[in-house]
Amino acid sequence: MKNIEALKSLYKLLSPCELCPLDCRVKRLKKEVGVCNSGLLMKISNALLYKGEEPPLTYKNGSGAIFFSNCSLKCVYCQNYQFSQLRVGKIISVKELASIILDLERKGAANINFITATHYAPQAMASLQLARVNGLKIPAVWNTVGYEKKEVIELLNEFIDIYLPDLRYVNNEDGVKFSFVENYFDITLEALKLMVKSKPIKFDTLGRLKQGVIVRYLVFPNKLDDLKIALKVLKENFDDEIFISVMTQYVPVYKARNYEELGRSLTKEEITEVKKIVKVAKIKHGWVQYG
């Protein structure tokens, strides 16, 4: 019953829309479209078994990844810009997505991975709930840019088992400059605190992650000092209660070449330096990704 109430509360946030910190308050139930380019109906670009996620999410067959179209952030370097910014994708109903979710489980997915779905949280959780009623057993992952409202996380807690947030910047200024949002760092840190408090790490009897938080940090060229700050912030706030995934595979796509700091991939020397920084930080649970 609690999750039905949570679903109703999520739908209330849809119109006027207050689902993300932008609070643009458009009436999406009346087909108005927000800053995220999203109206009432969900749009996805793909749904498939995906082995590119971190090891505890992938297991043997891969994560059941659902890539949602559109996004409330407008990051100039977005690595998924074709569907996050250029609106590529197809409209899908709650019922159709529930069938896709069950199909991913039948194919052996380790979990259902909602990739950047904040702007469709009510509809996506309605699909998840319908799939649960129809027998879905595997955990649900909320794969997010991190820029989330605490009241939305409280509601998502009724459905989601594993949070997979980014920490994109270590100050608010970079959020304004590269993603055009205010207070990215402050809002995301508060969101992370609530996620960690809500979902302590738990494994199942086979040693697979069934609940917890994995924080991702994408390293930008010329910004290795920010990695040091990010690891310090994460250590100070969460110690060893989270997994940390440091990613070095940045490529300058979309509008990134218009920004001097973001106009290239990491050099070999920078990647070697990343390894050193991570070693010094003594992360207990985590990885460095290279591509």
Q: Are 199 and 241 in contact (CB under 8 A)?
A: no
Applying the rule CB under 6 A, the residues between 72 and 111 that interact with ligand SF4 are 72
Interface with ligand SF4 includes 149 (CB under 6 A)? no
Helix, strand or coil for residue 17?
strand
22 lies in the binding site for ligand SF4 (CB under 6 A): yes
Position 219 contacts ligand SF4 (CB under 6 A): no
DSSP codes joined into one string, 32-68: ---TTS--SSEEEEEEEEE--S-HHHHTTT-EEEEEE
Cβ-Cβ contacts under 8 Å for 120 (sequence gap 6 or more)? 38, 42, 68
Piece of the chain touching ligand SF4 by CB under 6 A; list 14-22, 53-61, 122-130, 271-279: 14-22
> Stretches 34-42, 75-83, 176-184, 210-218: which one binds ligand SF4 (CB under 6 A)?
34-42
Using CB under 6 A, which of 7, 10, 26, 262 touches ligand SF4? 26
Spatial neighbors of 249 by CB under 8 A, at least 6 apart, are: 265, 289, 290, 291
Q: Which two tokens stand for residue 93?
A: 């109903």
Question: Does 24 interact with ligand SF4 (rule: CB under 6 A)?
Answer: yes
Total interface residues for ligand SF4 by CB under 6 A: 14
Site for ligand SF4 contains 35 (CB under 6 A): yes
Kindly report the number of other CB atoms within 10 A of residue 249's CB atom: 14
- The closest alpha carbon to 289, from 252, 254, 250, belongs to 250
Give the nearer residue to ligand SF4 in terms of CB position, either 153 or 230: 153
Q: Is 194 in the site for ligand SF4 (CB under 6 A)?
A: no
Q: Is 168 in the site for ligand SF4 (CB under 6 A)?
A: no
36 touches ligand SF4 (CB under 6 A): yes
Residues that bind ligand SF4 (CB under 6 A): 17-20, 22-24, 26, 34-36, 38, 72, 119
